[in-house]
Amino acid sequence: MGECERMNVAKFGGSSLADAGQIKKVASIITADTDRKIIVVSAPGKRSDEDTKVTDLLIHLGETALAGKDTADALQNVVERFRSITEELGLSEDMLRIIEKDLQERVDYTKESPERFLDQMKAAGEDNNAKVIAGYLQSQGVLSEYINPAEAGLYVSDTPGNAQVLPESYDNLYKLRERKGILIFPGFFGYSKEGKLVTFSRGGSDITGSIVAAGIKADLYENFTDVDSVFAANPKVVKDPVAIKRMTYREMRELSYAGFAVFHDEALIPAFQKSIPVCVKNTNNPKTSGTMIISEREYALNPVIGIAADKGFSTLYVRKYLMNREVGFGRRLLSIIEDEGISYEHIPSGIDDTSVILDNSQLTPAAEEKIISRITEELEADDVYFEKGLAMIMLVGEGMHETVGIAARATKALMEKEINIEMINQGSSEVSLAFGIKEEQVDDAIRGLYEEFFSTKEVLQ
């Protein structure tokens, strides 16, 4: 390798690899830039809205096997899905026989631990797709090879469905820099120190990509998906929102929190920790520059970078006279919530009252009832109730904290849309300002804030 050569890791998601046509696109992207050295791949995803992902076919196959039923049809469904790919890619029958044999071995794997059995079954999608893509690149005369995570030294905790990378993996992966040609690396799983296959949680291929990029100390981690970039606001609410060209990890994390699910932000932590620049790009439109996610950005001109919003929050309101004199009140209140396994979002507090903002998905009528009765009895509160229908809207940007007047502009924009602010939370995060508003006003609020900070143009009504 020459000194000027760069080493990039590119990750392609399931929709980018759903069929032979998509895989050909991906191959041309890979070969278009000689810096792309390690390619992390997902299993083939949906070809249309009605289609089934290969991973879901594999889960069905695994469950059939666990139920002790005949697996022939379910296995053949997976094989046929791969056949439609390999044939169109012009690969030999050998490839398909390798896949079929692999699937049969997985079906025959010990069912002592059903969890572990399903883990190794689900991983077949990524694993075989990596072999197909390596084979196709070879057939096109490109120096490339499939690499197994065990061979690469990607070791993880022995926690099926929720693998955590072990620290030594990074040094092991660094050695991949010595390999010649393009390596095709299956996403979604690693191996325990005892050699057991273990999958990551959701966003699994993103996690692998991020770990590999961190391990080899990539110059760039390209995350190919099906959108051109991250936008300053939800395109379903704001017409043609501004594309974000550069944003920081912190901004991405705050935006991901509410409604910016371009990818699972926690997957990027390994890359963030090693300060690897991440680029979000579109497989179907690789010429657009996408969104770069970096450690720091110049923010003097645009202190605010995006607006995120999410519905489905509740307020737990607690009032008790002289609450603020009671050392331990807040802690005991949070203990009661914690006892129900519930985490909180924000805790705006008054003098004699406090509210806890909670995600509805964590609440059940039983938990609510228990929380109310415990707060009433144990904390002797004067008033306790839940209020539903809260949306959180966040203004995100590195420059917000240092720029006088952001809160004034934001609250004015909301006022002009006649939106009553139920909650404001500013003060800890230096990169966000959060408002609580009524759910039915959230789209109006996004438009109002977008107009104020990004555009003087009319927005979608």
Task: By CB under 8 A, name the binding residues for its own copies.
Answer: 250, 253-254, 257, 266, 269, 315, 317, 321-322, 324-328, 330-331, 334-335, 338, 341-355, 357, 402, 404-405, 407-408, 410-412, 414-415, 418-433, 436
Least distance in angstroms from the C-beta of 387 to its own copies: 11
Looking up tokens 């737990």 gives 316
| 429: phi then psi, degrees, rounded to nearest 5 | -60, 135
Question: Which residues on adjacent β-strands are paired with residue 297?
Answer: none
Q: Which lies closer to its own copies via its Cβ, residue 139 or residue 201? A: 201
Looking up tokens 């000194």 gives 3
Q: Which lies closer to its own copies via its Cβ, residue 269 or residue 460? A: 269
296 is in an annotated binding site: no
Q: Which lies closer to its own copies via its Cβ, residue 287 or residue 331? A: 331
Closest by Cα among 203, 393, 244 to 308 = 393
Least distance in angstroms from the C-beta of 167 to its own copies: 16
Looking up tokens 């249309």 gives 48
Q: Which lies closer to its own copies via its Cβ, residue 128 or residue 315? A: 315
13 is in an annotated binding site: yes
The whole-angstrom separation of Cα 329 and Cα 338 is: 14
Least distance in angstroms from the C-beta of 420 to its own copies: 5
C-alpha gyration radius of the chain = 25
| 28: phi then psi, degrees, rounded to nearest 5 | -70, -30
11 is in an annotated binding site: yes
226 is in an annotated binding site: yes
111 is in an annotated binding site: no
Using an 8 Å Cβ cutoff, are 68 and 246 in contact? no
Least distance in angstroms from the C-beta of 372 to its own copies: 16
Inter-CA distances, 460 with 123, 229, 235, 418, Å? 42, 20, 9, 18
Q: Which lies closer to its own copies via its Cβ, residue 124 or residue 414? A: 414
Least distance in angstroms from the C-beta of 427 to its own copies: 3
Q: Which lies closer to its own copies via its Cβ, residue 301 or residue 322? A: 322
Alpha helices in 226-293 (DSSP H): 249-257, 269-273
Tell me how many degrees the CA angle 283-235-41 measures, rounded to the nearest 5.
Answer: 25
Least distance in angstroms from the C-beta of 441 to its own copies: 11
The whole-angstrom separation of Cα 104 and Cα 79 is: 10
Q: Which residues are annotated as a binding site for substrate?
A: 55, 126
Which positions make up the binding site? 11-14, 55, 126, 225-226
Q: Which residues are part of a known binding site for ATP?
A: 11-14, 225-226
